[in-house]
Amino acid sequence: TFIILLSIIIHFLFLSCPEKIPESLIFLFFSPAGWLRFKNKCFLFKGKKNDIKGNWSYARNWCKEQGGDLAIIDDQYENDLEHPAWIGLSDLLAENQYAWSDGVSPVLYTHWDNNEPNNVGGTVSRMHVLRWFHGTWNDTKCDHAKPYICKISSGTTPSPCKALTCHSCTLLLLL
């Protein structure tokens, strides 16, 4: 009951004066389908514990089946959400020219580890976010099964939860 009341108060505070709440605290909205809202996007984290992991292609196809794509990381706050996991950055179209898997979003932010991307001997074209290097990015072989992060735009209804859109959620804070 206390958490619900706190969530409602914070939700209305956020709606009335979002500029007074630090961006790092306005963090998580959960929908019953497991989607997490952050800013104007919703994320779904797959592959934790006993959950199914996948290679980059499997992960991307699974995300697309849910109405989204592999995550596009636009800033440090989004990069801090979860690691390690496949994200949607690749150089599939042109070697060493990285683009997001949706084909339209500009690459506004990167967080490569030292000496990355290194193309691991010419065999890599997909990116993996590694928590072990403080959230820095590493290009790695795309056929390895790893956790992954799906992303949809706010207002999109993720499958299979057709009754709820991403913004009909409860507000929680990470302190």
pLDDT at 62 over 90: yes
Average pLDDT over residues 22-50: 64
Q: Which of the two residues, 172 and 85, has the higher pLDDT score?
A: 85
Is 51 within the bounds of a domain?
yes
Q: Which of 15, 16, 36 is nearest to 27 (CA)?
A: 36
Quick one: DSSP state of residue 120? G
**Count of structural domains, the chain:** 1
- Separation of alpha carbons 164 and 32, rounded Å: 8
Domain that holds residue 54: 34-169
Pairing of strands 126-129, 137-140: antiparallel
pTM: 0.68
Share the mean pLDDT of the chain: 71
pLDDT of residue 169: 37
Q: Which of the two residues, 9 and 18, has the higher pLDDT score?
A: 9
pLDDT of residue 59: 93
pLDDT of residue 123: 60
Is 71 within the bounds of a domain?
yes
Domain CATH code at residue 40? 3.10.100.10
Q: Which of 47, 142, 12, 155 is nearest to 89 (CA)?
A: 142
Q: At a CB cut-off of 8 Å and minimum separation 6, what does 89 contact?
A: 72, 73, 98, 99, 100, 101, 107, 110, 126, 127, 137
Is 4 within the bounds of a domain?
no
Strand-pair partners of 170: 30
Q: Which of the two residues, 134 and 16, has the higher pLDDT score?
A: 134
Pairing of strands 69-70, 41-46: unpaired
DSSP-derived secondary structure for 34-71: S-EEETTEEEEEE-STTSPPB-HHHHHHHHHHTT-EEP
Q: Give the count of beta carbons closer than 10 Å to the beta carbon of residue 68.
A: 26
pLDDT of residue 138: 82
Is 146 within the bounds of a domain?
yes
User: Tens of pLDDT along 92-150?
Assistant: 777 778 888 888 889 999 988 888 888 776 665 566 655 555 778 888 878 888 889 89
Average pLDDT over residues 59-78: 90
Distances, alpha carbon 102 to alpha carbons 40, 87, 99, in Å? 16, 11, 8
